[in-house]
Amino acid sequence: MADVAVRLVQLTKRFGGDTTGRRVAKYVDDANADQGFLAVDHIDLDVNEGEFFSLLGPSGCGKTTTLRMIGGFEQPTDGRIELQGEDVTYLPAYKRNVNTVFQNYALFPHLTIYENVAFGLRRRKVSDADVKKRVTEMLELVELPGYEARKPGQISGGQAQRVALARALVNKPAVLLLDEPLGALDLKLRKQMQIELKRIQQEVGITFIYVTHDQEEAMTMSDRIAVMNHGHYEQLGDPEVLYERPRTRFVAGFLGVSNLLPASADGRDDRYANFRLSDGTAVRVPIAVIQDRAGTLALGVRPEKIRLLEEKDESPAGYNRVAGRIVHASYLGVSTQYIVQLKDGHRVTVYEQNVTRATKAELWSSGEDVVLCWAPEHCFVVEDAGGMAAAEADRELAAVV
Amino acid sequence: MIQRVPRGAIPYLLLLPGIGWLVLFYLYPALQLFLVSLWTGNITQGYQQTWNFGIYAEGFNEYWPWIVRSAAYGGLATLLAFLLGYPLAYTIAFKGGRYKNVLLFLVIAPFFTSFLLRTISWKIILADNGLVLGPLKQLGIIPQDFQFLATPVAVIAGITYNLLPFMTLPLYVALEKVDFRLLEAARDLYAGPWRPGGAIVGAIGGGILAFLAALVVEINPLLPVAVAAVVGALIGRYLISESFVRITFPLSLPGVFAGSLLTFIPAVGDFVNADLLGNVRTQMIGNVIEARFLKITDYPMASALSFILMAAIIIGVLIYARILGTEELTGGRA
Ligand SMILES: Nc1ncnc2c1ncn2[C@@H]1O[C@H](COP(=O)(O)OP(=O)(O)O)[C@@H](O)[C@H]1O
Ligand SMILES: [Mg+2]
């Protein structure tokens, strides 16, 4: 078992109703203002030593608030924060061995890049010689040697981002907190920095807790991801598990495109559980996939896992087969995206690599009858508390796409 | 028509009215004043333009004590206004919340009454047996012969009071711009309390202030300096944080610069406060100039003194800008 860098125990934050209410009161204008707004809802979480951990979720789900509580900028309403086994819940920020890369970088505009990076070391009374050595090393690590004398106003956004990173990392914190650090960069730079960040994290071996709303970003860099929604995380796991075996409709929808079909259980044998879709088709799912899923379930399959066949075509033994009709095809170069309507009206998205069918004439076209087929192992099952309303919304969205 | 104006010329065109105004109402009268300072003669026999540059040396030799006193009073008033105005501006900018505008309004509210009227009201309120001192004397809290008016303290306090908004507003504007996220970043980087440093700064600040005050009122500085140093140390120890020293204060320096100039320059040239709240021994250079112009009608000397004052202020401001400018550049070095 790896050492735990950060442990959150029942961590909770209400805005407006607590002692810090005065400064934030303006945010709370809804009906239950007296209770405050529940931004973080009883989170239990262990982040391991040396891990690249991401908090992923839509805007407003409480990622920043969670991070700020770990950093010491926000007082929890309830719960506990441990840093390397030590309770730091009430330790002020300046005493925590944690550093933050802020969303807007927050570089000190009146100090040079050198002094910005040296700031934490100087507060800790590190000797001038050591400061010089470590700042120089760090600027090399983030590939900004020679920028020492500049002011933050004289560098680009991407460079400011690196300085913010260097300024935090130079202190060798137990944990580095990053709040959407790449949010302000353009796409190309962002991709480049994702790789860079991962390299730096591996080089320095410091635990990173990374906040983002960009699923691709989280998947690219993270060892593990907690997918957050409404103040708590719905699922925690490595990127592959989250993608292949999402546990809730929300997680399935947030990481990539997924097709979710309402299904009712219809018996099982020793390896497979049987489900029946609303059009009556039987679908098989490995038992392992439905273990520990409870409540209303929905069946899911990722668009790239589905193959399209003609009615008469054979499919590998044991594959699930569902009939449908192509209602939309869009050619994307690498692949083609099809929208297929099932007999019960549900729409399914399918991505087909343009390999066997590559030219326009060979592709499926609107109105053709097809059979969707996929391996039972490619199914996943989600707990579908949101139910049909959410499903309808999803389908409408899919229809627009 | 407007499109035919070359783009580069637009800024100059926009400057034109301002420049015109300054030339007409400032530069031309200043030039005139300079010529007057080089006259010789008197009001009854008339004046000749004699280019008597010697008057400047003469004026300086004769009146330097008034100039020095003006600089001292103005400097002290500026320092006091800074010490009062900075916490005020800081509190409004960082803790004012939704009352910011109300508080700012209160800061400038005195401006709705005339400068002269406010100073005269001080004279009434603080008279030897007036609203404040009368009851205190009756209760025996202060001695019967205690005087506030007609002292240097009254003059400096009056100037400070009258100019406080000129200090507070620029400070507020500068502090308001300081991004609180920078302060979070500083705390994140281990900037915490600043106990020893704060105590030392507070003690030195308090000590200097008490020393200057003692000089002005001409008492033995030892006791006041000691007391003020201790009080200053306590205040500094608990109020000054490292993020304030490293971030907030350096970022507010433009406001400090603007505020202190806007206070110091009118303070040095002031004569109303010395006139109404002071006595003959608290006369400032402004009083001398006023008397020379209006009572003695010695126009050349009055003009020469005006120019000497102006030159002194310009030199002082340049030195000040130099010091503060480099301070800003090196402010981050530990
Ligand atoms: N200072 C605050 N006062 C009141 N509500 C806040 C405050 N900060 C955040 N919130 C609310 O808490 C919720 C979570 O915010 P945040 O943690 O910033 O979300 P995220 O970073 O995931 O976008 C949001 O609904 C936000 O409006
Ligand atoms: Mg956020």
Contacts of residue A263, defined as CB under 8 A and 6 or more positions apart, other chains included, come to A275, A276, A277, A278, A283, A297, A298, A299
Q: In the block, which residue shows the tokens 């104006």? A: B5
What local confidence, expressed as pLDDT, does residue A241 receive? 93
Q: Where are the alpha helices (DSSP H) in B26-151?
A: 28-37, 54-90, 100-108, 115-125, 133-138
Break chain B into its structural domains and give their ranges. Answer: 64-302
Give the mean model confidence (pLDDT) for residues A120-137.
96
What local confidence, expressed as pLDDT, does residue A35 receive? 64
What local confidence, expressed as pLDDT, does residue B178 receive? 94
List the single residue in A26, A102, A111 with the smallest CB-CB distance to B332. A111
Q: What is each CA distance from B308 to A339, B55, B68, B269, in whole angstroms?
A: 88, 11, 12, 11
Of B1, B178, B159, residue with least CA distance to B76: B159
What local confidence, expressed as pLDDT, does residue A22 receive? 41
Q: In the block, which residue shows the tokens 């899923």? A: A293
Domains and CATH numbers, chain A: 4-97+173-243 (3.40.50.300), 257-400 (2.40.50.140)
Residue A83 CA to ligand 2 center (angstroms) comes to 22
Name the minimum distance, in Å, from the CA of A33 to any CA of chain B.
Answer: 18
Half-sphere exposure of B203 (CA within 13 A, CB side): 11
Give the model confidence (pLDDT) of B146-186 as tens digits: 888 988 889 999 999 999 999 999 999 999 999 999 999 99
Contact criterion met (CB below 8 Å) for B268 and B71: yes
**DSSP strands (E only) in chain B:** 39-42, 46-49
Give the mean model confidence (pLDDT) for residues A72-87.
95
**Angle at Cα B270 formed by Cα B265 and Cα B275, nearest 5°?**
165
Q: Rounded to an integer, what distance in angstroms lies between the CA atom of residue A348 and that of residue A257?
A: 10
pTM over 0.90: no
Q: CA end-to-end span of chain B, whole Å?
A: 58
Tokens of residue A61, six digits: 């789900």
Model confidence at B314: pLDDT above 60: yes
B63 CB burial (10 A radius; 0-12, 13-18, 19+): buried
Neighbours of ion ligand 2 (CB under 5 A): A 64
Give the model confidence (pLDDT) of B240-274 as tens digits: 999 999 999 999 999 999 999 999 999 999 999 99
Query: Is the minimum CB–CB distance between B181 and chain A shorter than 8 Å?
Result: yes
Give the model confidence (pLDDT) of A91-115 as tens digits: 999 999 999 999 889 999 999 999 9
**Angle at Cα A252 formed by Cα A248 and Cα A253, nearest 5°?**
115
Q: Rounded to an integer, what distance in angstroms lies between the CA atom of residue A12 and that of residue A7?
A: 13
Q: Rounded to an integer, what distance in angstroms lies between the CA atom of residue B224 and that of residue B209?
A: 9
Name the minimum distance, in Å, from the CA of B254 to any CA of chain A.
Answer: 12
The correct CATH number of B64-302 out of 1.25.40.10, 3.40.50.2000, 1.10.3720.10, 2.30.29.30 is 1.10.3720.10
Q: Rounded to an integer, what distance in angstroms lies between the CA atom of residue A359 and that of residue A10?
A: 56
List the single residue in B189, B242, B246 with the smallest CB-CB distance to A99. B189
Residue A61 CA to ligand 2 center (angstroms) comes to 8
List the single residue in B182, B188, B246 with the smallest CB-CB distance to A99. B188
Residue B182: closest CA among chain A residues belongs to which residue? A106
- Binding-site residues, ligand 1, Cβ < 6 A: A 15-16, 24, 27-28, 37, 39, 57, 59-65
Give the model confidence (pLDDT) of A146-197 as tens digits: 999 999 999 999 999 999 999 999 999 999 999 999 988 889 999 999 999 9
Please tell me the residue having the least CA distance from ligand 1 atom 8.
Answer: A65
